[in-house]
């Protein structure tokens, strides 16, 4: 079976299952093979019931003596069976699975796994996992009696189905899998086919650990190899012309600014000056949280570019942000007769401009003339793709500067952005106010609503953030934006003006809602986290976040940075449906820590790399199995990639590796 075979053509998968698989981004056989378990149920303890302890998770082998459905007064269905493993009868109970009586019959030989309990002095197991005993007694079981893999699921697609299908497909595909890693890099790690086999069906914890190590190494290694390869390619480029750094004029411009630069901003500018003196194009990322002054630094660099009679293109992720940058940059540069243009879907005024600010449309051949000396991209998420389009057939390129407000721990940044030089603005302006943050217990919810209503009636505005757009069966406790919006409008704030914002709205709709909020036409904006990279609403003073435990600490920090943009006292209220001490204590870090980088590092230790960026916020790479908190593995992969490229920069000796990188088209330049 070929790895690129669409799953819809695999025996036993029809249109209905294809649709469900698509929800998990599983389109091909390869996608399914690389759909890794996120944990295992340990059902490996096979023993007689009489030898097991109450509360122990065990696997029993035996016969079904009877099975029937019982309907409760509330019309719920209990499926009850009496099972005997040869030492004792055990009561089995399943909930709302009436169809089990068609699959399991009296006399069937089963292997069952679950927690052994005692009810009315009788041994019992609630909701046990089960499978029929194989005809061949030495055949391995799949769902019981072993380490049983548990996979990311969606409605109608269970781990049991995934396990079954992978166990059928895997033996047919392993011979198709070639290991792209040379032995010199692989060392003592498992081969790729062994790792894939053992990650899905490990015999023991040691096998699962070794499989995870090899597959995690691959993920981080390809990222390191891709970014370092881009860096090598970039160094072959030349700039349009080396720049002259006129420090006297630059100092005059800096003194004209309405505020004094921080030491961190000055250090970043020094880094940039050094880059711009070279004949190699700058490729630098400035990392600094909301309010750290990234736009001001950009204005100084734009001024420097204009002194060299070159143009700047400044790309923002949304139209409303483009207009916000346009307003800020114009205010700073207008006294120096530098014309600022705008180029978006709704407005195109770029004629004769020294700097043009806009959205994606900026990066067209029409605007990207030989006279462009600098391209700035606000927020790094789309940087790889945009840079790739600019590099096509160009031997001379402009300098590149990208910015991000996402706090990324340094080890992670060096891996994700190994193609970029990194500067960090790790200091906030002295007048930047601290946002008062509180983790609010359930009993204080109404008090919080009363506080919000009072603030709104005095002229303030409020964000209310929820993690999901619509209610989810699997996440009943998580308040969904649409449902929460309707509840708040009808029951809590019927006299106030509420707006709703989420990621499924079209770009123009999002911009209009944010514009209405900015203009005060909306009192309370109910939203998913799409406001995270957002607009300055200087009148917004309260950020309320529902189900806050669902977000990473640095993501919560970015969300609260949406308020406190003006001079008014501002607040961040964190609500959680969970009351476990570990959950509450993690959130309480936001009450004490106001440094985004410290919070990102803390989350890396507490919850691992999946929570640094929230839902797929890294933009460039999505890890399935590796973990950015594994600093040792990160360092190993970076060194391995660096050594390989030193010996063979074009990967001529490693065609499989070169092909693997080419497959990752979203991170490699054309």
Determine the average pLDDT of the residues in 36-59: 91
The pLDDT, as a whole number, for residue 33 is: 94
Residue 239, strand partner residues: 397
Secondary structure element (H or E) that encloses residue 166, with its range: helix 159-173
Are residues 1 and 85 located together in one domain of the fold? Answer: no
**Helix residue spans in 493-532 (DSSP H):** 507-518
pLDDT digits (tens, 9 = 90+) for 332-343: 998 999 999 999
pLDDT digits (tens, 9 = 90+) for 105-131: 999 999 999 999 998 889 999 999 999
Helix/strand/coil for 161: helix
Are residues 76 and 161 located together in one domain of the fold? Answer: no
Are residues 574 and 465 located together in one domain of the fold? Answer: yes
**Helix residue spans in 10-107 (DSSP H):** 15-23, 29-33, 100-103
Determine the average pLDDT of the residues in 153-171: 90
The pLDDT, as a whole number, for residue 621 is: 59
Determine the average pLDDT of the residues in 189-217: 95
Q: Beta-carbon neighbour count of residue 378 at 10 Å? A: 25
The pLDDT, as a whole number, for residue 72 is: 87
Domain harbouring 540, CATH code: 3.40.50.300
- Asked if the model's pLDDT at residue 422 lies above 80, the reply is yes
Q: How far apart are CA 563 and CA 464, in angstroms?
A: 11
Q: Who contacts 414 (Cβ-Cβ below 8 Å, separation ≥6)?
A: 422, 634, 638
The pLDDT, as a whole number, for residue 133 is: 87
Are residues 252 and 316 located together in one domain of the fold? Answer: yes
Q: How far apart are CA 429 and CA 344, in angstroms?
A: 31
Are residues 330 and 453 located together in one domain of the fold? Answer: no
Q: How far apart are CA 156 and CA 611, in angstroms?
A: 27
Are residues 163 and 311 located together in one domain of the fold? Answer: no
Last residue of a domain, one of 593, 617, 632: 593
Are residues 279 and 384 located together in one domain of the fold? Answer: yes
Assigned domain for 186 exists: no
Q: Beta-carbon neighbour count of residue 355 at 10 Å? A: 27
Cα distances (Å, whole numbers) of residue 536 to 46, 257, 455 = 61, 20, 19
The pLDDT, as a whole number, for residue 475 is: 47
Residues 359 and 316: beta-carbon distance below 8 Å: yes
Percent of the chain whose predicted confidence (pLDDT) is above 90: 47
Are residues 448 and 314 located together in one domain of the fold? Answer: no
pLDDT digits (tens, 9 = 90+) for 225-249: 988 888 888 888 888 778 899 899 9
- Asked if the model's pLDDT at residue 347 lies above 80, the reply is yes
The pLDDT, as a whole number, for residue 473 is: 40
Residue 326 C-beta-side C-alpha neighbours within 13 Å: 22
Copy the structure tokens of residue 235. Answer: 């160094």
| Mean pLDDT comparison of 104-108, 413-417, 622-626, 636-640, highest-scoring range | 104-108
State residue 251 phi and psi, 5-degree precision: -60, -40
Report the number of distinct structural domains present in the chain. 4
The pLDDT, as a whole number, for residue 321 is: 85
Antiparallel, parallel or unpaired: β 57-71 and 89-95: unpaired
Residues 513 and 463: beta-carbon distance below 8 Å: no
Structural domain boundaries enclosing 463:
436-593
Copy the structure tokens of residue 77. Answer: 């269905």
The dihedral built from the CA positions of residue 46, 50, 51 and 52, taken in this order, carries a sign that is: positive
Assigned domain for 2 exists: yes
Assigned domain for 251 exists: yes
Going across the sheet that includes 540-545, the strands are: 436-440, 571-575, 540-545, 461-465, 524-527, 498-501
Residues 436 and 499: beta-carbon distance below 8 Å: no
Secondary structure element (H or E) that encloses residue 205, with its range: helix 205-235
> Which of 63-72, 282-291, 388-397, 594-603 shows the lowest per-residue confidence on average (mean pLDDT)?
388-397
The pLDDT, as a whole number, for residue 668 is: 42
- Predicted TM-score (pTM) of the model is 0.75
Q: How far apart are CA 83 and CA 89, in angstroms?
A: 6
The pLDDT, as a whole number, for residue 613 is: 45
Antiparallel, parallel or unpaired: β 498-501 and 461-465: unpaired
344: left (phi over 0), alpha (psi -120 to 50) or beta: beta
Assigned domain for 215 exists: no
- Asked if the model's pLDDT at residue 25 lies above 70, the reply is yes
Domain harbouring 114, CATH code: 2.40.50.140
pLDDT digits (tens, 9 = 90+) for 383-419: 445 555 555 556 678 899 988 887 777 777 777 788 8
Helix/strand/coil for 627: coil
The residue that leads in pLDDT, 542 or 11, is 542
Copy the structure tokens of residue 250. Answer: 């630059």
Residue 418 C-beta-side C-alpha neighbours within 13 Å: 27
- Asked if the model's pLDDT at residue 433 lies above 80, the reply is no
Q: What is the mean pLDDT of the chain?
A: 86
Secondary structure element (H or E) that encloses residue 574, with its range: strand 571-575
Q: How far apart are CA 613 and CA 405, in angstroms?
A: 11
Are residues 373 and 421 located together in one domain of the fold? Answer: yes
Q: Beta-carbon neighbour count of residue 58 at 10 Å? A: 23
Assigned domain for 560 exists: yes
Assigned domain for 415 exists: yes
At 628, the pLDDT band (50, 70, 90 cuts) reads: confident
Are residues 167 and 140 located together in one domain of the fold? Answer: no
At 476, the pLDDT band (50, 70, 90 cuts) reads: very low
Q: Distance between the two ends of the chain, CA-based, in angstroms?
A: 30
The pLDDT, as a whole number, for residue 616 is: 39
At 462, the pLDDT band (50, 70, 90 cuts) reads: very high
Last residue of a domain, one of 425, 449, 472: 425
Identify which of 148, 130, 139, 119 has the alpha carbon closest to the alpha carbon of residue 63: 130
Only one residue has tokens 């996992």, namely 129
Q: How far apart are CA 286 and CA 267, in angstroms?
A: 11
Residues 17 and 154: beta-carbon distance below 8 Å: no
At 92, the pLDDT band (50, 70, 90 cuts) reads: very high
- Asked if the model's pLDDT at residue 618 lies above 50, the reply is no
Assigned domain for 218 exists: no
Map 76-107 to HEC letters: CEEEEEEEECCCCEEEEEEECCCCHHHHCCCC
Assigned domain for 161 exists: yes
- Asked if the model's pLDDT at residue 193 lies above 60, the reply is yes
Are residues 31 and 76 located together in one domain of the fold? Answer: no
Identify which of 367, 402, 213 has the alpha carbon closest to the alpha carbon of residue 297: 402
The pLDDT, as a whole number, for residue 231 is: 87
- Asked if the model's pLDDT at residue 139 lies above 70, the reply is no
Copy the structure tokens of residue 27. Answer: 């389109």
Burial class (CB in 10 A: 0-12, 13-18, 19+), 617: middle
Determine the average pLDDT of the residues in 1-11: 88
Helix/strand/coil for 55: coil
Identify which of 274, 239, 276, 33 has the alpha carbon closest to the alpha carbon of residue 149: 33
The pLDDT, as a whole number, for residue 533 is: 57
Determine the average pLDDT of the residues in 502-525: 86
* DSSP character at residue 317: S
**Helix residue spans in 469-563 (DSSP H):** 481-487, 507-518, 553-560
pLDDT digits (tens, 9 = 90+) for 282-301: 999 998 887 788 899 999 99
Residues 342 and 350: beta-carbon distance below 8 Å: yes
Q: Beta-carbon neighbour count of residue 293 at 10 Å? A: 22
The pLDDT, as a whole number, for residue 516 is: 92
CA dihedral of 624, 630, 632, 634, whole degrees rounded to 10: 40
**How far is C-alpha 51 from the geometric centre of its chain's CA atoms?**
46
- Asked if the model's pLDDT at residue 595 lies above 80, the reply is yes
Cα distances (Å, whole numbers) of residue 669 to 297, 374, 456, 548, 666 = 28, 19, 49, 38, 8
Identify which of 235, 252, 296, 246 has the alpha carbon closest to the alpha carbon of residue 273: 246
State residue 263 phi and psi, 5-degree precision: -60, -35
Last residue of a domain, one of 593, 619, 635: 593
Are residues 282 and 361 located together in one domain of the fold? Answer: yes
């Amino acid at each position: 079976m070929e790895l690129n075979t669409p799953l819809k053509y695999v025996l036993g998968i029809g249109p209905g299952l294809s649709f469900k698989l698509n929800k998990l981004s599983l389109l091909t056989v390869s996608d399914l093979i690389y759909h890794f378990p996120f944990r295992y149920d340990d059902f490996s303890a096979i023993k007689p019931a009489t030898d097991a302890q109450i509360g122990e998770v065990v696997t029993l082998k035996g016969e079904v003596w009877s099975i029937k459905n019982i309907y409760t007064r509330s019309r719920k269905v209990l499926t009850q069976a009496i099972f005997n493993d040869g030492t004792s009868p055990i009561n089995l109970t399943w909930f709302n699975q009436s169809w089990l009586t068609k699959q399991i019959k009296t006399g069937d030989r089963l292997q069952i796994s679950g927690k052994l309990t005692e009810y009315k002095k009788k041994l019992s197991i609630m909701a046990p996992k089960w499978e029929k005993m194989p005809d061949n007694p030495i055949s391995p079981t799949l769902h019981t009696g072993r380490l049983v893999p548990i996979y990311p699921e969606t409605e109608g697609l269970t781990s049991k189905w995934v396990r079954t299908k992978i166990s059928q497909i895997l033996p047919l595909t392993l011979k198709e899998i070639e290991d792209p890693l040379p032995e010199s890099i692989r060392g003592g790690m498992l081969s790729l086919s062994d790792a894939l086999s053992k990650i899905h069906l490990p015999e023991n914890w040691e096998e699962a650990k070794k499989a995870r190590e090899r597959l995690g190494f691959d993920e981080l290694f390809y990222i390191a190899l891709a970014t370092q390869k881009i860096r090598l390619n970039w160094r072959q480029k030349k700039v349009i012309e080396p720049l002259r750094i006129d420090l006297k004029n630059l100092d005059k411009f800096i003194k004209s600014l309405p505020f004094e630069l921080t030491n961190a901003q000055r250090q970043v500018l020094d880094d940039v000056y050094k880059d711009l003196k070279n004949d190699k194009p700058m490729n630098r990322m400035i990392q600094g949280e909301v309010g750290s002054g990234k736009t001001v630094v950009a204005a100084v660099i734009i001024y420097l570019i204009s002194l060299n009679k070159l143009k700047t293109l400044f790309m923002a992720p949304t139209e409303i942000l483009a207009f916000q940058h346009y307003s800020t940059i114009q205010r700073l540069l207008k006294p120096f007769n530098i014309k600022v243009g705008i180029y978006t879907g709704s407005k195109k005024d770029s004629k004769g401009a020294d700097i043009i600010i806009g959205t994606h449309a900026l990066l067209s051949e029409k605007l990207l003339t030989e006279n462009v000396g600098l391209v700035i991209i606000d927020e790094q998420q789309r940087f790889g793709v945009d840079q790739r389009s600019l590099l096509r057939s160009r031997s001379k390129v402009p300098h590149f500067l990208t910015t991000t407000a996402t706090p990324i721990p340094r080890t992670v940044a060096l891996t994700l952005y190994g193609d970029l030089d990194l500067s960090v603005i790790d200091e906030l302006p002295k007048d930047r106010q601290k946002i008062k943050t509180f983790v609010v217990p359930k009993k204080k919810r109404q008090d919080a609503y009363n506080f919000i209503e009072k603030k709104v009636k005095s002229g303030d505005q409020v964000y209310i953030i929820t993690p999901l757009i619509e209610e989810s069966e699997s996440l009943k406790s998580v308040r969904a934006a649409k449902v929460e919006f309707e509840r708040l409008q009808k029951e809590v704030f019927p006299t106030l003006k509420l707006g709703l914002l989420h990621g499924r709205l079209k770009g123009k709709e999002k911009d209009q809602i944010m514009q209405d909020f900015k203009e005060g036409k909306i009192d309370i904006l109910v939203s998913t986290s799409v406001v995270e990279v957002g607009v300055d609403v200087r009148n917004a003073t309260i950020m309320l976040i529902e189900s806050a435990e669902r977000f990473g600490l640095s993501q919560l920090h970015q969300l609260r940075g949406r308020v406190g943009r003006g001079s008014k006292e501002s607040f961040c209220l964190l609500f959680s449906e969970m009351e476990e001490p570990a959950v509450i204590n993690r959130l309480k870090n936001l009450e004490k820590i106001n440094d985004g980088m410290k919070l990102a590092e803390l989350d890396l230790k507490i919850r691992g790399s999946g929570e640094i960026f929230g839902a797929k916020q890294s933009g460039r790479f999505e890890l399935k199995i590796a973990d950015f908190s594994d600093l040792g593995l990160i360092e190993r992969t970076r060194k391995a990639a660096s050594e390989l490229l030193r010996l063979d920069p074009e990967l001529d000796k490693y065609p499989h590796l070169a092909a693997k990188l080419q497959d990752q088209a979203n991170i490699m330049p054309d």
